[in-house]
Amino acid sequence: MKHLLSTRDLDRAAAVRLLDVAEDMALTATREVRKLPTLRGRTVVNLFFEDSTRTRLSFESAAKRLSADVITFSAKGSSVSKGESLKDTAQTLQAMGADAIVVRHPSSGAAHQLAHSGWIDAHVLNAGDGTHEHPTQALLDAFTMRSRRFGGDSRGRDLNGMRVLIVGDVLHSRVARSNVWLLETLGAEVHLCAPRTLLPAGVGSWPARIHHDLDAALATGPDAVMMLRVQQERMHDAFFPSALEYAREYGLTAERFGRLEADTMVMHPGPMNRGLEISSAAADSARSTVLEQVTNGVFIRMASLYLLIAGADDAPRPSGADA
Amino acid sequence: MTGLLIRGATTLGGAQEDIRVREGRIVATGSLLPELRETVIDAAGLVALPGLVDLHTHLREPGGEASETVLTGTRAAAAGGFTAVFAMANTSPVADTAGVVEQVASLGHRHGYATVRPIGAVTVGLAGERLSEIGAMARSRAAVRVFSDDGKCVHDALLMRRALEYVATFDGVIAQHAQEPRLTEGAQMNEGALSGELGLAGWPAVAEEAIIARDVLLAQHVGARLHVCHVSTAGSVDVIRWAKARGIAVTAEVTPHHLLLTEELARGYDARFKVNPPLRRDEDVHALRTALADGTIDIVATDHAPHPAEAKECTWAEAAFGMVGLESALPVVQTAMIETGMLGWADIARVLSTAPAAIGRLEGYESPLAEGSAAHLTLVDPAARRTWGADDLHGRSSNTPYTGVELAGAIVATVHGGVPTLLDGALRPAEEVARG
C-alpha cells in the first residue's frame, strides 16, 4: 500500500488486514515498554492545515510508538499563512526527508493531489480532507465495532450482518463518507438518517438505506448508532430551522436512548455537542464507545503507518503480526 | 506581402477552388487561377473556412497580464484559426468605461493578429449594483455592441430588465452568465452523485436554468436581444428551445469543452478541469450536441480563460475556474461534432464564424469566402490527428485540459484581413503581422 487516501480504495482483504495489524498494535499497549522499533530512522510529518488536536495527537502518538521521528507542522503561523502553496510546503517537507506525510486539509481532494500530482514521492496518509474522507476514523470505528462484537475473537473477521445507523450531518461529514464505503466493504448494512438538507446529492446511489425519521430508523434495530457532530456554524445557513428542532428531531435523547437494545453501541467521532445531537445519558453510558474509539485510533494509525512505510519492504514486523 | 493565392482548397460547397486575396479582400475565386506575383499556399486536402470568430474570450489585459495580454491572446487566437475575438470585460480595471474598451480595441488593432472587439461590463465594476456607461462604450471608437458581467451573473432582475431595455436602443445585446448566486455559494463542480461522493460543493443545474428562464421572459417583455453564455445543461437547452419557439430574441453559446468533457474528470481533483460553469453529465453533453446541431444553440464560443500555473497547481477548492481554449476549439468541435456526424463543415462555418459575428454585430463576415468580401479565412487539415502538448499553446498560460489527448484536425493557415497570421501551422512574427 503506497498511500491511504480513501476507504474506497480498500478491498475486504486489505481492510481486514489493517484491522488485524491494529490488533497486534493494541497488544503492545499492555507491555511495560509500549514502543516498537519498527519505524526507527523513518520520519513521519504531520501536516495539519486545519486545527485538530485529537487527530494530531493520535497520529503523533502512533508514530512515536513505532519509534519514528515525528515532525508536526501546523499551517497556522507558518509560511502557509504567508501564502505558501500546498505544493511548496510538501516539497519542502520531502526535502527534509519525510518518508510519510499525514495530511489534514480543509479542501476535499488535497491528500489525493499530494499523492498523485507528482510533487512528492513520500507516502501520503489522509487525516481528513474537507468534506471528502477521513479513512483512519472509519477504520477505528470498524475496529471498535469488531472488538465490541467479537472481543478476543476478532482477528480475521469482518462486520458481516451488522446494522449500523449513522445519524446527522452526512452532507458535510468526511467521517460518514469513509464509514459508508468501509462498512459496505466489510459486509455491514448501513443506514443513514438526516433531514434532506443534510444529505448530499446522489446519496440514493450510496450503498445505504436512507431515513428521515430517526424514530423509524431506530426501530430497525441497529447494532450501532453513530451520531455525527452538528457543526454550530451550519445553524445559520438554513440547513435546519433551529438547534432545538434539530435536537428534537435528530438528537439521541435520553428517551430515544432508553429504547435501544441493551447491546446497541452508541458511537460518536467527537467532539460531542451534548444536548444537541447526543444526550449525556447516551454519551456516558456503558453502551457508549466514545473513549474506546479514541484509544483504538492510536492502534489504527500505528497499523496504517506501519503498512504504508514498512509493510512493503523488509522492515521488522510488529510483534505478533501474522502476515 | 504582395497578395495570396490559395490553391485548391475545399470550399464549403465541397468543390476545390482557388482563392485570390489582394489588399485585404477576396478578389477572385475559381479553378486554376493564373499565378501572379504572390505568395501561394497549396491547400490541397485543406478545408477553407471563413475566419473564426470567438464571442467569448478573456484577454486579461489590462490588469491580468501575467495570465494573458491582448498580444498573446490574439496570437493564441490566430493559432486556433480565429480572426476576431470579443474580449470579456472582467479586466482590472473593469471594461466599464469608453477609455478601457478603446484601449483594448486599439491594442488588438496595433498587433494585428485578430480583430479585438471589447465587451463592455453591464454594471460598474461588475458589482451588479449600477449600470455602467453603456451608451458611452457603444458610441466609442470600440463601438461596443455586446455587454456582459461574465464571471458574474446579473442576478438583480430589475437591473437585468433595465440593461436589456437600454442596449436595445442601439441594437446591443446582453450576454448573460447564468448563475443564480445563492444556489451556487461555494460551488465547486456539478451537483450530483459525484459531487456528493467527492465531498465537493455541488453546482445545481437549476441555478443556470432558473436564470435563463427568467431572462428570456424579461427579454420578451422588453423586446430586447439576450445572449446566453456557455450553456451547460440539458434543462437550459429545453428552456432556450421553448423561448425560441415563442419567438423570443435569444441566442446561446456552448463551449467546446462542454461538448466533449464530463464531470467524471473531476474525480482526480486535477484543477485543469475546474471550470465555470462546471463540466456536467453525459446526458448534458448529448443534449448540448443535439442543440448545436438543430440550431437551438447558435454558436460555439471558447470562454478562453487563461490562468498562471500557480492558480491551478493547488487544491481544487483554491484553484481558479477556467481553461484556455482558443487553440483547441476547432479540433475539439471537429472531434465532438464532425467525427460524430452531427455537423458538417458548412455548419462549422456558421457556428464558429458567421453566427457569432452576427450576434456581436461584427462586420466583414456576412458573405464568407465570396468575391469582394473581407479576406478573413482559415485553412484546416481535417485528416490530421495529433496528441496535444504544451507546444500547441501560444498564449501566456497553459491551463488546457487536452495535454496528452488526441484531437482531430489541425489549423494550417489563418488570414486576417488579407494578412497571414499563421502559415504552415506556424505563427508569423509579430512585426510582419503588424506591418500587414
Q: What is the DSSP string of A111-149?
A: HHHHHHSSS--SEEEEEEETTTB-HHHHHHHHHHHHHHH
Q: What is the mean pLDDT of residues A3-15?
A: 97
- What cell numbers appear for A25 in the block? 498494535
Residue B135 phi/psi, 5-degree rounding, is -65, -40
Identify the pLDDT of residue A314: 46
Residues of A in contact with B314 (CB under 8 A): 85-87
Name the residue facing A130 among B194, B197, B317 (closest C-beta): B317
pLDDT tens-place string over residues A100-156: 999 999 999 999 999 999 999 999 999 999 999 999 999 999 999 999 999 999 999
pLDDT above 90 (res A313): no
Lookup: cell for B147? 455587454
> Residue B203: its pLDDT value, please?
97
Residue B289 has pLDDT above 90, yes or no: yes
At residue A52, the pLDDT reads 86
Q: Which residues of B touch A116 (CB under 8 A)?
A: 268
Compute and round to an integer the Cα radius of gyration of chain B: 21
Asked whether the beta carbons of residue B202 and residue A110 sit closer than 8 angstroms, the reply is: no
The ipTM assigned to this model is 0.89
Contacts of residue A85 in chain B, CB cutoff 8 Å?
A: 310, 313-314
Non-local CB neighbours of A203 within 8 Å, separated by 6+ positions:
A170, A192, A210, B196
CB contact under 8 A, A202 and B269: no
Burial B217-247 (b: 16+ CB within 10 A, else e): bbbbebebbbbbbbbbbbbbbbbbbebbeee
**What one-character-per-residue DSSP string does A147-164 give?**
HHHHGGG-TT---TT-EE
What is the pLDDT, as a whole number, of residue A78?
64
For residue A9, pLDDT beyond 50: yes
Q: Which residues of B touch A (CB under 8 A)?
A: 188, 191-202, 204, 268-269, 310, 313-318
Confidence (pLDDT) at A77: 62
Q: Which of B199, B268, B314 sits opposite A108 (nearest CB)?
A: B199
Q: A130 to chain B, minimum CA–CA distance in Å?
A: 7
Tell me, what's the pLDDT at A237? 75
Percent of chain A that is helix, strand, coil (3-state, to 5):
45, 15, 40
Helices A135-150 and A174-185, packing angle to 10 deg: 50
Model pLDDT for residues B139-190, shown as the tens digit of each residue: 999 999 999 999 999 999 999 999 999 999 999 999 999 999 999 999 999 9
Strand partners, B226: B174, B250
d(CA B120, CA B73): 18
pLDDT at position A321: 41
Q: Which three cell numbers stand for residue A131?
A: 468534506
In whole angstroms, give the CA distance from residue A70 to residue A60. Answer: 7
What's the first-to-final CA gap in chain A, in angstroms?
Answer: 14
Sort B191 into a burial class: Cβ within 10 Å, 0-12 / 13-18 / 19+: buried
Q: What are phi and psi of B16, to 5 degrees?
A: -95, 125
Interchain proximity A177–B310, CB inside 8 Å: no
> Does A177 contact B at CB distance below 8 Å?
yes
Give every CB contact of residue B289 below 8 A, 6+ residues apart in sequence. B259, B336, B337, B340, B342
Per-residue pLDDT, B166: 97
Residue B283 has pLDDT above 80, yes or no: yes
Q: Which pairing describes strands B47-50 and B406-416: parallel, antiparallel, or unpaired? A: unpaired
d(Cα B423, Cα A91) in Å, to the nearest integer? 43
Query: Is B156 a known active-site residue?
Result: no
> Could you tell me the pTM of the whole model?
0.94
- Among chain A residues, the shortest Cα distance to B267 is held by A109
pLDDT single digits (tens) B220-260? 999 999 999 999 999 999 999 999 999 999 999 999 999 99
Catalytic residue chosen out of the listed positions B303, B347, B381, B392 = B303
Average pLDDT over residues B388-392: 92
CA distance A246 to B188: 28
Helix (H) or strand (E) segment spanning residue B110: helix B98-111
| pLDDT interval class at A90 (50, 70, 90) | confident
Q: Count helices and strands (H / E) in chain B.
A: 13, 19
- Judged by CB atoms closer than 8 Å, whether chains meet at B200 and A130 is answered as yes
Residue-wise pLDDT for A26-79, tens only, equals 998 888 888 999 999 999 999 999 888 899 999 999 999 999 999 998 877 666
* Whether pLDDT at A268 is above 70: yes
For position B13, what pLDDT does the model report? 86
Contact at CB, B315 and A110, closer than 8 angstroms? yes
The grid cell for B283 is: 446526458
| pLDDT value of residue A238 | 81
**Residue among B180, B173, B181 nearest B225 (CA):** B173
pLDDT of B436 strictly over 70 = yes
What local confidence, expressed as pLDDT, does residue A93 receive?
A: 87
Helix (H) or strand (E) holding A255: helix A254-259
pLDDT, mean of residues B390-411: 96
Task: Answer yes or no: do B192 and A86 touch at CB < 8 A.
Answer: no
Q: What is the pLDDT of residue A318?
A: 53
A118 torsion bin: left (phi>0), alpha (psi -120 to 50), beta (else): left
Mean pLDDT across A265-293: 95
For residue range B112-134, list pLDDT tens digits in order: 999 999 999 999 999 999 999 99
